[in-house]
Amino acid sequence: MKLTTYASSLHDLSLLKDKKIDEVILAARSFSRFGKLSHSEFIQMAKRSKELGLRVLFEWDILMTEDVFETKVKEISDYLPSVDAIRVQDPGALWWVLENTKCPIQFIAENGNHNLKALEGWIDIAQGRLERLVLSIELPKATIQEYVEKLSVPCELLGLGRILLFYTPRSLLSPLNGEKLALNEELAALGESEESPHKGFPLVENQHGTFMFHIKEFCLLDYAKELSEMGLGYFRIDQRWAGWEHLDLITNLIMDYNEFQFESFKQQYPQELMRGFYLVNKTDVLFPKLKNARLQHREGNYLGEVLEAEKSSHLAIMVKNPNGLNVSDKLKILHPKGEIFETKIFSLRNLSLKEVEFIPSGDVALIQFVGGVWVKSQVFYID
């Protein structure tokens, strides 16, 4: 497993020497969500990276509407001669790079892409041009292991860095200050809500929009050995916010994990850390509770719904089954709280209060009142 990381200055590059890192992600201001490098700085950094024997990975991870895309396509030719591979996230950028360059591609599949078929799909679309897939940090380890084994290109996973929660192209912070940001200006703040137990979400606004991060950073340093043994290709360390002073300790932990050192690292690190869903992802277990139980039983012999329950007089049922309702049908009535009642139709009236033998679907049937039944009860035929 190889390490990959960002560098934002020549000084950062010098720190990467002797860390067994053989590539670096360079983020230009114009193409990368959090890029800081101007074009000339990028070229200078790329040149120095190559002198140091580092592959240069060009990060093009912004999402772009048509007009923005057109301006980026005009700019990108100034960067391409200096890069060894391009990292893209917008499928449009992927398609453009495929069609217009011969550059190796690293596809950032961090958003969604939680099934093998999707990931294989990106590899197929790229027709042999993908050299890497960047996997979602929402994947649990068993899934990562399966993907690493089955996918035909190496995979990368974030090992340490911020968790991006929210990305919009709209400017959301500067309006609170009452003035627009200058082109290369960045505004950073912290947000918290009384409706959330989490305090201090980092917020950033720049020329690409507004971003919100988790209050904790994502960290799998203590699982680096496990991931390496799984066959993960690349482990990404993103120190753009926390700073570089912990790099020695981080690389030591990755190469030779030691629990004591890890505890010490956690104490020193400026942010709290979390491993997200690495052990298990149960982000769908609450779904059944979000649903009104009353509405979950409409399969099978479903007849319709009670619209009115008039004590000692009648139940009004909206007939929804194409078979309609007949006199002498036997019915099961499911109360919204789960209680079940049974009855047999011995008289049936329509809304003109006429006795009838049959009520078709789409009409309201009046039947005898059944004690205990409420409005919104669901009605079923009994075979």
Partner 1 sequence: MKSINLPEILAPAGSLDKLKVAVLYGANAVYVGGQKFGLRTAAENFTLDELREGISFAHERGAKVYVVLNSFLHDKDLSELPQFVSFLSEIGTDAVIVSDLGVVRTVKEFSNIPVHISTQASTLNSQSAKLWKKAGADRIVLGREVSVKEAGKIKREAGIEIEMFIHGSMCMAYSGHCVISNFTQGRDSNRGGCAHSCRFEYSIEGLDTPEKKKAYFMSSKDLEGLRVLPQFIEEGIDSLKIEGRMKSHLYAGTMTKVYSEALDFFKENGNFLSDDLLRWESELKKVSHRSYTEASLVNKAGADSIFNERENSAEAEWQMVGTVVEANPESGIVLEVRNAFNQGDHLEMIPFKGENIQITANEIMDLSMRAIQRTKPTTLVRLPFVDGVKKMHLVRQRIKA
Q: DSSP assignment, residue 81? A: G
Phi, psi of 118 (to 5 degrees): -65, -45
Query: Per CB under 8 A, which region of 64-72, 74-82, 262-270, 335-343 contacts partner 1?
Result: 64-72
Residue number with CB closer to partner 1 (199 or 344): 199
Minimum distance from residue 174 beta carbon to partner 1 (Å): 8
Cα 82 to Cα 285: distance, rounded to the nearest angstrom: 47
Render 322-362 in DSSP notation, one character per residue. TT-EETT-EEEEE-TTS-EEEEE----B-TT--B-SEE-TT
Residues in region 5-24 near partner 1 by CB under 8 A? none
Q: Out of 279, 293, 340, 351, name the contact with partner 1 by CB under 8 A.
A: 351
CB atoms within 10 A of CB 75: 12
Q: Out of 40, 102, 112, 337, name the contact with partner 1 by CB under 8 A.
A: 112
Q: Is 115 in the site for partner 1 (CB under 8 A)?
A: yes
Query: Per CB under 8 A, which region of 36-44, 45-53, 111-119, 263-271 contacts partner 1?
Result: 111-119
Q: Which two tokens stand for residue 98?
A: 């495929």
Q: Is 91 in the site for partner 1 (CB under 8 A)?
A: yes
Residue number with CB closer to partner 1 (29 or 314): 314
Total binding residues for partner 1 by CB under 8 A? 94
Cα 166 to Cα 150: distance, rounded to the nearest angstrom: 30
Q: Is 376 in the site for partner 1 (CB under 8 A)?
A: yes
Residues in region 165-184 near partner 1 by CB under 8 A? 165-178
Q: Is 92 in the site for partner 1 (CB under 8 A)?
A: yes
Residues in region 266-325 near partner 1 by CB under 8 A? 276, 281-287, 290-292, 295, 298-299, 302, 307-308, 310, 313-314, 316, 318, 320, 322
Residue number with CB closer to partner 1 (249 or 364): 364
Query: Per CB under 8 A, which region of 163-171, 230-238, 258-266, 339-347 contacts partner 1?
Result: 163-171
Cα 360 to Cα 320: distance, rounded to the nearest angstrom: 8
Residue number with CB closer to partner 1 (49 or 377): 377
CB atoms within 10 A of CB 63: 18
CB–CB of 2/22 below 8 Å? yes
Q: Is 118 in the site for partner 1 (CB under 8 A)?
A: yes
Residues in region 206-265 near partner 1 by CB under 8 A? 212, 214
Q: Out of 104, 154, 191, 360, name the contact with partner 1 by CB under 8 A.
A: 191
Q: Out of 122, 234, 235, 269, name the contact with partner 1 by CB under 8 A.
A: 122
Q: Out of 41, 138, 186, 226, name the contact with partner 1 by CB under 8 A.
A: 138
Minimum distance from residue 375 beta carbon to partner 1 (Å): 4
Look at strands 325-326 and 314-319 and give their pairing: unpaired
- The one-letter amino acid at 340: I
Q: Out of 13, 63, 359, 379, name the contact with partner 1 by CB under 8 A.
A: 63
Cα 302 to Cα 300: distance, rounded to the nearest angstrom: 6
* Chain mean position to CA 280: 15
Query: Per CB under 8 A, which region of 38-46, 107-115, 225-233, 257-265 contacts partner 1?
Result: 107-115
Residue number with CB closer to partner 1 (22 or 70): 70
The residue count of the chain comes to: 383
Minimum distance from residue 218 beta carbon to partner 1 (Å): 9
Q: Is 353 in the site for partner 1 (CB under 8 A)?
A: yes
Q: How many CA atoms lie within 13 A of 381 on its CB side?
A: 17
CB–CB of 298/318 below 8 Å? no
Q: Is 152 in the site for partner 1 (CB under 8 A)?
A: no
CB atoms within 10 A of CB 66: 7
Tell me the C-alpha to C-alpha distance, in Å, between residue 194 and each of 177, 197, 200, 347: 22, 7, 11, 57
Report the SS3 class of residue 154: coil
Minimum distance from residue 198 beta carbon to partner 1 (Å): 6
- The one-letter amino acid at 345: I
